[in-house]
Chain A
Amino acid sequence: MSGGPGVIIAGAAETDQVGKLPGHSTLGLHVEAAVNAVRDAGLSLRDIDGIATVSAPGPAQVAHALGVVPRWIDGTGVGGTSFLLHVRHAAAAIQAGYARTVLVTHGESGRSRVGAAPFRVPLSSPGGQFEAPYGTFGPTTTFTITALRYMKDFGLTHEQLAYVAVAQRRWAAKNPRAAYRDPITVEDVLASRLIAYPFHLLECCLVTDGGGALVVTSAERAGDFPKPAVFVLGTGESAEAPMISQLVDFTESQAFRLAGQAAFAEAGIGVGDVRHLMIYDAFAHVPIYGLEALGFVGKGEAGAFIADGNTEPGGRLPLNTNGGGLSYTHTGMYGMFAITEAVRQVRGEAAAQVEAPDISVVLGNGGAFATAGVLVLGRQPR
């Protein structure tokens, strides 16, 4: 974004409710979120000239349902981080003049599965030939498989892994929209049923229904909207391995690191400038990998950093302040909810508002460490 005026998030909203919504289809969730986000920006759907969303139901379907006629389309569908990439791609498109006001939408009937695409790995694909035959069954069996290697190499304990869920529940307790708000202990986490050793139920994200949407436009229009502008200061994206077995190193995420480096460099910031952080937490180890990949702590230090209270309410680096995928909501592609919470924090309207988050960083994951996106968001232009 060097040179240009940059872009802002002018509108951001979620569906009226998140959780169990059998009365909404996947498309219906997109539509509700879109309408809410456009209203949040003080705009009309007629003002939208660019559309971005994942491949199912797809940008053409979402645009058509909304009566939007796009002159710019992005259907990047690389898992739960896709919406971070949409913001990045929209920034480029807006500065190139291809679109003026881009709508990014997410909706997913992840729990109720109303109008949802089926999960199916073709058995002729690399994953179908070389992973599925061994009994993989979604992210609980793939995303999690790196953790024992990390635990052996860096001494992460089962208690420290469990504490990630404890810390995030403390944020969720402050968020009336969170699915789970009752306090939990490390003992509670370790006593919950095993899903895929070493992961217990409370170390795995929820599966919910919901949606969210964003309105992205030029920073030249920063004063034109009812809510404070949230400046997109830096962005990054990367991809590593579509099969978990082929990650370069099970103790780190190369994609997280590369996306983070790009975003921090573009924003011209260091970790010391960051006052609020969202790290996609499909499972309890993912924030550990994220903290290390972004450079907030050294390799092998994140488990203790979280267990020492640094990321929970009152800590010096507020992390996953909506309660995260572990306690707030997780539709399947959670990245949108990490962005909407960061926007609320930067605006100063979050349920668990942290003090003066001039800069918030969002790290999104796609697949099982397969893809990554990072956004650096700020209250002021660069």
Chain B
Amino acid sequence: MTVTIPGKPVPVPTPETQPFWDGCAAGELRIQRCTDCSTAFFYPRPVCPACGSVNVEWFTASGRATLYSYVINHRPAPGFQDDGPYAIAVVQLAEGPRMMTSLIGVPATPEALVLDMPLRVMFEPRGEVYLPVFTPAGAGP
């Protein structure tokens, strides 16, 4: 008998979200905007949440963001047991939309994580997909 220890959750794309995940695999943060009212939005969907238009298109976002808010989680989710306390963050993209993410290349401490600090996107492999994560804008590589 084998015991399967659950790993970190791997997103399962749907037809509406596949272009986003394809972008991540190509190293690009592709999100959508409305061609009628110009509002950029996330998460992927076939209608503009600002004006109701179905005239939406994909574009590649800059990958620049700022730290909007976060928690430092001390009760790890399944698959995160070895991470120690870890930050779960919400970032505001330069284009306007917000998304949840992980922060890498920076300690998960209140001192290191200062709201509104500039960040840039990176992509981490997770199962079959690449996951967008963020790191301080000045950090290498």
- Residues of A in contact with B (beta carbons under 8 Å apart): 122-124, 126, 128-137, 140-141, 144-149, 152, 193-199, 243-246, 250
B62 CB–A CB distance under 8 Å? no
Chain A CB within 10 A, most for which of B69, B74, B79, B102: B69
**A/B interface sample: 22 pairs, CB < 8 A:** A129-B13, A130-B43, A130-B99, A135-B80, A135-B88, A135-B102, A136-B77, A136-B88, A141-B73, A144-B71, A145-B69, A145-B70, A145-B71, A145-B90, A149-B69, A194-B85, A195-B75, A196-B74, A197-B72, A199-B71, A244-B90, A245-B100
A137–B76 contact, CB under 8 A? Answer: yes
Task: Report the separation of the CA atoms of residues A168 and B76 in the bound assembly, to the nearest whole angstrom.
Answer: 28
Interface residue tally on B, bucketed by range: 35 or more
Chain A CB within 10 A, most for which of B11, B76, B86: B11
Q: Mark B1-27, 1 if CB is under 8 A from A, else 0.
A: 000000011111110010000000000
Chain A CB within 10 A, most for which of B75, B101, B116: B75
A196–B100 contact, CB under 8 A? Answer: no
Q: Closest B residue to A121 by CB, please name it.
A: B9
A196 contact from B73, B83, B116, Cβ within 8 A: B73
Q: Closest B residue to A123 by CB, please name it.
A: B12
Shortest Cβ distance from residue A119 to the other chain B in the assembled complex, whole angstroms: 11
When distances are taken between beta carbons in the complex, the residues of chain B under 8 Å from A134 are: 88-89, 100-102
Task: Report the separation of the CA atoms of residues A13 and B115 in the bound assembly, to the nearest whole angstrom.
Answer: 45
**Dominant secondary structure at the A interface:** helix
When distances are taken between beta carbons in the complex, the residues of chain A under 8 Å from B76 are: 135, 137
Q: Closest A residue to B74 by CB, please name it.
A: A194
New A-B pairs, 5, CB < 8 Å, besides A130-B99, A137-B75, A195-B74: A134-B89, A135-B76, A152-B116, A195-B75, A197-B74
Q: Closest A residue to B49 by CB, please name it.
A: A246
B52 CB–A CB distance under 8 Å? no
B121 CB–A CB distance under 8 Å? no
A135–B83 contact, CB under 8 A? Answer: yes
B40 CB–A CB distance under 8 Å? no
Task: Report the separation of the CA atoms of residues A136 and B88 in the bound assembly, to the nearest whole angstrom.
Answer: 7
When distances are taken between beta carbons in the complex, the residues of chain B under 8 Å from A250 are: 68-69, 90
B88–A145 contact, CB under 8 A? Answer: yes
When distances are taken between beta carbons in the complex, the residues of chain B under 8 Å from A197 are: 71-72, 74, 85, 110
B43–A141 contact, CB under 8 A? Answer: no
User: Quick one: which of B87-107 are within 8 Å of A by CB?
Assistant: 88-90, 98-102
Q: Closest B residue to A140 by CB, please name it.
A: B75
A135 contact from B86, B110, B115, Cβ within 8 A: B86
Q: Mark B102-132, 1 if CB is under 8 A from A, else 0.
A: 1000000010000110000000001000010
A148–B83 contact, CB under 8 A? Answer: no
Task: Report the separation of the CA atoms of residues A262 and B30 in the bound assembly, to the nearest whole angstrom.
Answer: 39
Given A136-B77, A137-B76, decide whether A148 and B71 contact each other with a Cβ distance below 8 A.
yes
When distances are taken between beta carbons in the complex, the residues of chain B under 8 Å from A136 are: 77, 88, 100
B77–A137 contact, CB under 8 A? Answer: yes
When distances are taken between beta carbons in the complex, the residues of chain B under 8 Å from A129 are: 11-14, 17, 43
When distances are taken between beta carbons in the complex, the residues of chain B under 8 Å from A198 are: 71, 110
Task: Report the separation of the CA atoms of residues A146 and B99 in the bound assembly, to the nearest whole angstrom.
Answer: 13
Task: Report the separation of the CA atoms of residues A137 and B80 in the bound assembly, to the nearest whole angstrom.
Answer: 10
Given A246-B43, A250-B69, A250-B90, decide whether A135 and B74 contact each other with a Cβ distance below 8 A.
no
A196–B115 contact, CB under 8 A? Answer: no
B43–A123 contact, CB under 8 A? Answer: no
Q: Closest A residue to B69 by CB, please name it.
A: A149
When distances are taken between beta carbons in the complex, the residues of chain B under 8 Å from A149 are: 68-69, 115
Q: Closest A residue to B115 by CB, please name it.
A: A152
When distances are taken between beta carbons in the complex, the residues of chain B under 8 Å from A130 are: 11, 42-43, 99-100
Task: Report the separation of the CA atoms of residues A130 and B98 in the bound assembly, to the nearest whole angstrom.
Answer: 11
When distances are taken between beta carbons in the complex, the residues of chain A under 8 Å from B43 are: 126, 129-130, 243, 246
B11 contact from A128, A144, A194, A245, Cβ within 8 A: A128
Shortest Cβ distance from residue B22 to the other chain A in the assembled complex, whole angstroms: 13
A133–B10 contact, CB under 8 A? Answer: yes
Task: Report the separation of the CA atoms of residues A316 and B79 in the bound assembly, to the nearest whole angstrom.
Answer: 48
Task: Report the separation of the CA atoms of residues A194 and B84 in the bound assembly, to the nearest whole angstrom.
Answer: 13
Task: Report the separation of the CA atoms of residues A243 and B10 in the bound assembly, to the nearest whole angstrom.
Answer: 17
A128–B100 contact, CB under 8 A? Answer: no
Task: Report the separation of the CA atoms of residues A146 and B86 in the bound assembly, to the nearest whole angstrom.
Answer: 16
Shortest Cβ distance from residue A224 to the other chain B in the assembled complex, whole angstroms: 48
Q: Mark B22-48, 1 if CB is under 8 A from A, else 0.
A: 000000000000000000001100000
